[in-house]
Amino acid sequence: MRCVSEVRGAGAPPFLAAPALTSAAAYDTPPADTVAFRPWATRAILASLLGVFALEAVTGSTTSTVTLWHLGANYAPSVRAGQVWRLLSSAFLHVGPLHLLVNGLALNAFGPLLELVLGRARFLLLYAFGALGGGLGSFVAAGDGRVSAGASGALWGLMAAEFALGFAGGDLLPEELRHGLRRAGVRLLGLNLLISLLPGIDLAAHLGGGLVGALLVGSRLLTRGRRAELVRRDTRGARAVTAAAALAWAIVVGALATGIVAGRPWDVRRPPERWRLAALPGSDFSLELPPTFTLQRVPAQDDDARAYVAGHLALHPLAVSIQLLRTEPGAGDDPATYAAAMLAEALRARRPAGEGVREAQRVTLAGRPFVALTYAGASGDTHPAWVGLLDGATVRLDVFARDDAAPAWREAEVRFVTSLRRRSPS
């Protein structure tokens, strides 16, 4: 199941599991080393899913889109911005314990049979390409507001590949077993497809991974030469497949590591000490932002204003809105008298309920006078805002925080205000 929340949930549980193959009895000439077969690749993948889930819990919350995004969850705007590793790293993340449990059961149901029939290297290739297919499917179909995570693209690749073996596995499996795979596959695919239509489930990721798995096995691309490896010990072909699997998983592990390093999940609970200086496009102002925040200009309500946003509440603990007004105060005004005038105006506009100013007071930040506001939105939620005269321009900065934002982030809100300044001419 692959969840979307603007998160993505896993492939559906295998309620009707296909018959498991626990020995080499299906082969006409079974190799001796498959009789005591142990699915080490399947177990290694499951261990990696558990390890990443533990990292989610340590760095934040396993159900928070902020934590998931910082660890490499799929998010279309980030992928378009060049963070392509999210197409793979998202396949190792899960949204809560139930999500992980369901996907772990599915992996344990499909993995051992495929690992035995295909061999470990081909199985690892199948899983990696299924994960990529799921990531691409989610990326293509997802809206800009969805953060998605889950192993279900890869798991649907396994499920579809197992079904395809019922048709294209004649040189690997006896007809009786292939008949069982076909019958079970129809029920499994139908049931999981229905579950994929439920809200919060990423249907595109499921279909993307399933299509890849079915094509790899149905076209015999992944099974070609496997019989020779088993019967004639064709080590040359086996070495080529092993090298391809090693390369594919080097890319997968690299994507996961890049997602962690670039996403900086350790910043979820506490803001970093070092922020970067970001220029406000179309102006000569700048302010400091945390490393993972992006700044963009947005349409302003007034023609003489410039508006910007930094951060996203689905991705970060805080988000910031900045407005710059070109109009300057009347002749003879200075920041102090301007702040006093703004305070008087804010107090007159104060409302005990509804949208508008709830509280207002004059404050001095970094030696500059501002009016600090508590502003209520249409929904009744309140957030802090600051208004003042800065280097000849009227500035308003609003900071929005998630309900689950760590206290350390809330304490850092004022840093956005104190770092805002006009850039020195070069």
d(CA 418, CA 386): 10
Beta strand 393-401 with 356-365 is unpaired
3-state secondary structure of 219: coil
Burial class of residue 296 in the structure, from the number of CB atoms within 10 Å of its CB (0-12 exposed, 13-18 middle, 19+ buried): exposed
Distance between CA atoms of 171 and 227, rounded to whole angstroms? 7
Query: CA 24, CA 34: separation in Å to the nearest integer?
Result: 6
Question: What's the Cα-to-Cα distance from 392 to each of 60, 125, 338, 343, 388, rounded to whole Å?
Answer: 41, 61, 11, 18, 10
- Tokens 């579950």 correspond to 195
Phi, psi of 169 (to 5 degrees): -110, 30
Sheet holding 147-149, edge to edge: 3-4, 147-149, 74-75
State how far Cα 47 lies from the chain centre.
20
- The answer to whether residue 70 is catalytic is no
Catalytic one among 70, 94, 99, 206?
A: 206
Report residue 367 CA to chain centroid gap: 41
Q: Is the CB of residue 420 less than 8 Å from the CB of residue 322?
A: yes
From the CB of residue 221, how many other CB atoms can be counted at a distance below 10 Å?
12
CA end-to-end span of the chain, whole Å?
A: 54
Quick count: other Cβ atoms within 10 Å of Cβ 268? Answer: 25
- Asked if 259 and 398 touch (Cβ cutoff 8 Å), the reply is no
Identify the CA nearest to 48 among candidates 257, 278, 247, 275: 257
Our answer to whether residue 61 is catalytic in this structure is no
User: Which position has the token pair 């009789």?
Assistant: 35
Residue 313 zone, left/alpha/beta (φ > 0; ψ -120 to 50; rest): alpha
Of 138, 152, 196, 321, the catalytic one is 152
Beta strands per DSSP E along 165-225: none
Q: Extract the tokens encoding 155.
A: 């798991």
Any idea which residues carry the catalytic annotation?
A: 152, 206
